């Protein structure tokens, strides 16, 4: 695995297969990162182990060569996220991708009530994937239908939240750290959180800091990776 810790310990073999930790920047899709890695190392077979929305930042695990077959084992690991829920407004996508569709100025809620609401999410539950998501229906992502105004009925999925910590409250912003099972949509939690508080909420910031025990602290930005390893690929 190529991380900031291991980068100088051996010469990577991208063609045969490597695992790379990348810290995805804002406004870039997971596909954008895969494309840039592929271009930098000149290897056709490159994939990732779990999509991050363009409006999210953080840890993206990328595989090259034969290691692309190992991506499923990383997808199944728990994920840890930090971010901000903003109270008092909602959007159709539950995040900042779409325009506000409701507003409620009654978000001056006691801290104890906010902490209590967070605790109700712990454990196993069922979550319906958001209307705007990459979940497939007849070969197309749900967001493709959503952008055309077509709503597809979605089956609830079992999820598990092992940690939900409120790290800061500066209303209307509520800062959090959540550890959850794969397939959990944090923006759905944001929307549900707002409903529990009775004022609405949307996900205004999201960062994935861990996948299992793999930490974004050890990840390269895509620019760092490109500068470090493009010469290796050309050698």
Domains and CATH numbers, the chain: 19-76+213-234 (3.30.2350.10), 79-211 (3.30.2350.10)
Cα dihedral across residues 221, 56, 214, 21: positive or negative: negative
What mean pLDDT comes out for the span 164-190? 97
Q: How far apart are CA 218 and CA 233, in angstroms?
A: 21
Q: 35 - beta bridge partners?
A: none
In the structure, what pLDDT confidence band is assigned to residue 146 with cuts at 50, 70 and 90? very low
Percent of the chain surpassing pLDDT 70:
88
161-190 per-residue burial string, b: 16 or more CB within 10 A, e: under 16: beebebeebeebebebbbbbbbbbbbbbbb
123: cis peptide before it, omega within 30°? no
pLDDT at position 150 is 52
Do residues 67 and 21 touch, judged by C-beta distance below 8 A? no
Among the options 13, 23, 32, 53, which is catalytic? 53
pLDDT-derived band at 231, boundaries 50, 70, 90: low
Residue 176 Cα distances to 53, 64, 170, angstroms? 18, 33, 12
CA distances from 36 to 21, 110, 136, 154 (A): 14, 46, 25, 33
Q: What average pLDDT does the structure give for the chain? A: 89
Confidence of residue 113 (pLDDT cuts 50, 70, 90): very high
Whether residue 219 contacts residue 52, with contact meaning beta carbons closer than 8 Å, is answered with: no
In this model, does residue 188 exceed pLDDT 60?
Answer: yes
Q: How far is it, in rounded angstroms, from Cα 34 to Cα 61?
A: 10
Measured between alpha carbons, how far is 204 from 74 in angstroms, rounded to an integer? Answer: 26
Return the pLDDT at 140.
53
Q: Is the dihedral of CA 124, 130, 134, 136 positive or negative?
A: positive
Residue among 20, 18, 9, 22 nearest 216 (CA)? 22
- Return the pLDDT at 137: 40
For residue 162, is pLDDT > 90? yes
- Phi and psi based region of residue 86 (left: phi greater than 0; alpha: psi -120 to 50; beta: remaining): beta
Active site residue 53: yes
Q: Taking residues 121-130, report their average pLDDT.
A: 93
How far apart are the two ends of the chain, measured CA to CA in Å?
20
Range with the lowest mean pLDDT among 79-83, 152-156, 177-181?
152-156
């Amino acid at each position: 695995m190529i991380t900031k810790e291991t980068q100088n310990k051996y010469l990577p073999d991208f063609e045969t297969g490597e695992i790379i930790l990348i810290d995805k920047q804002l406004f870039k899709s997971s596909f954008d990162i895969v494309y840039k890695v592929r271009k930098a190392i000149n290897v056709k077979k490159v994939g990732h182990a779990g999509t991050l929305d363009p409006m999210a930042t953080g840890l993206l695990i990328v595989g090259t060569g034969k290691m692309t077959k190992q991506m499923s084992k990383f997808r199944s690991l728990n994920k840890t996220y930090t971010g901000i829920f903003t109270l008092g407004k909602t959007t159709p996508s539950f995040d900042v991708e779409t325009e506000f569709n409701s507003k409620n100025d009654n978000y001056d809620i006691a801290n104890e009530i906010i902490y209590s609401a967070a605790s109700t999410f712990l454990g196993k539950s069922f979550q319906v994937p958001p209307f705007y998501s990459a979940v497939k229906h007849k070969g197309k992502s749900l967001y493709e239908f959503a952008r055309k105004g077509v709503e597809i009925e979605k089956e609830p999925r079992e999820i598990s939240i092992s940690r939900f910590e409120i790290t800061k409250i500066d209303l209307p912003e509520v800062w959090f750290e959540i550890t959850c099972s794969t397939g959990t949509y944090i923006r759905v939690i944001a929307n549900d959180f707002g409903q529990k508080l009775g004022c609405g909420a949307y996900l205004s910031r999201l960062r994935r800091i861990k996948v299992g025990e793999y930490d974004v602290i050890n990840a390269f930005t895509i620019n760092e990776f490109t500068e470090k390893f493009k010469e290796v690929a050309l050698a």
